[in-house]
Chain A
């Protein structure tokens, strides 16, 4: 299994500002992912965070809006840039471990943009 922590757990931000979310894992992992869960909806993959190279973004998500860092095998950050109310969501960090690539999730960061 994996124990994942995220900071902050929640934040209220003003339109036009940026927020950086941190994700820390208790063991080294190759694959880390960032998901978004908009109010009342299910989870959508934003990007895969690769150690030592640029993140791989899903359709509809761009690096300028959601820059990601992955400095080592236990840590990643997601920045939500130039925020608008539509960015109000829960942002979740996830890792895949083991031969079956079972995925584990952090507790999430609840972001409200006013």
Chain B
């Protein structure tokens, strides 16, 4: 059974700092991996999707990497801003289209 773990569970940083969120998964037979952002009381916003054959994806200040063989992904946020404060969720898509989510990292960026 696929299990997804995110570390740290919570993170508080001053504005402008670069930071890394970690995601690990137990079964490397994945179709892709997605990073989402969830604001309080809201739905999920897709940030980045990495196919199983890819190593990384970039969008603006965000960079996500994938090491499928070791079961790890990282989300790098450059020059963090207070507007980045949210819960960040990592999810792996198994063959059969099921998404398995981690518990998330709650990020707070202080101004």
Residues on A facing B (Cβ under 8 Å): 4, 31, 33, 41-45, 48, 58, 92, 94, 96, 100-108, 110
Q: How many residues of B contact A (CB 8 A)?
A: 22
B49 to chain A, nearest CB (A): 5
Q: What residues make up the interface of B, taking CB atoms closer than 8 Å to A?
A: 31-32, 34, 36, 41-46, 49, 51, 89, 91, 93, 97-99, 101-104
Determine whether the beta carbon of B32 is less than 8 Å from that of A101.
yes
- Min CB distance A2 to B, Å, is 10
- A-B CB pair tally, cutoff 8 Å: 52
- B23 vs chain A, min Cβ distance (A): 12
Are B98 and A45 in touch, CB under 8 angstroms? yes
Q: How many Å from the CB of B2 to the closest CB on chain A?
A: 11
Residues of chain B with a CB closer than 8 A to A105's CB? 36, 43-46
Partner of B93, one of A58, A103, A104: A103
Supposing A107-B43, A108-B43 touch, asked if A43 and B34 sit within 8 A by C-beta, the answer is no
Q: List 24 A-B contacts (CB under 8 A).
A: A4-B43, A42-B102, A43-B44, A43-B89, A43-B91, A43-B101, A44-B101, A58-B98, A92-B43, A94-B99, A100-B49, A100-B51, A101-B31, A101-B97, A102-B32, A103-B91, A103-B93, A103-B99, A105-B43, A105-B44, A105-B46, A107-B43, A108-B42, A110-B41
Say whether A45 contacts B103, CB under 8 Å. no
Is B43 a contact partner of A106 (Cβ separation < 8 A)?
Answer: yes
Question: Is there contact, CB below 8 Å, between A42 and B101?
Answer: yes
Question: Are B46 and A102 in contact, with the CB atoms below 8 A?
Answer: yes
- With A101-B32, A103-B34, A110-B41 as given contacts, are A31 and B46 in contact (CB-CB < 8 Å)? no
Complex Cα spacing A43 to B104, Å: 10
Q: Which residues of A contact B43 (CB under 8 A)?
A: 4, 92, 105-108
A96 to chain B, nearest CB (A): 6
**B residues less than 8 Å from A33 (CB atoms):** 97, 99
Min CB distance A97 to B, Å, is 10
Contact B97 A96 (CB under 8 A): yes
Q: Kindly state the separation between the CA atoms of A70 and B94 in the bound complex, as whole angstroms.
A: 23
